[in-house]
Amino acid sequence: MTTLVIVLAVDLAGAVRLARVVARWAGVLSCADPGETTVSAEDEQGVRHRVFCDLRLPGGRRCLLRADHDGPCARRPTR
For 4, list phi and psi in degrees, rounded to 5.
-110, 125
DSSP-derived letter for residue 20 is: H
For 22, list phi and psi in degrees, rounded to 5.
-65, -40
Asked if residue 26 lies in contact with residue 34, where contact means CB atoms within 8 angstroms, the answer is yes
Q: What is the pTM of this model?
A: 0.68
Cβ-based neighbours of 61, under 8 Å, separated by 6 or more: 75
In tens, the pLDDT along 35-70 reads 778 888 888 888 988 888 878 888 888 888 888 899
- Which has more pLDDT, 62 or 16? 16
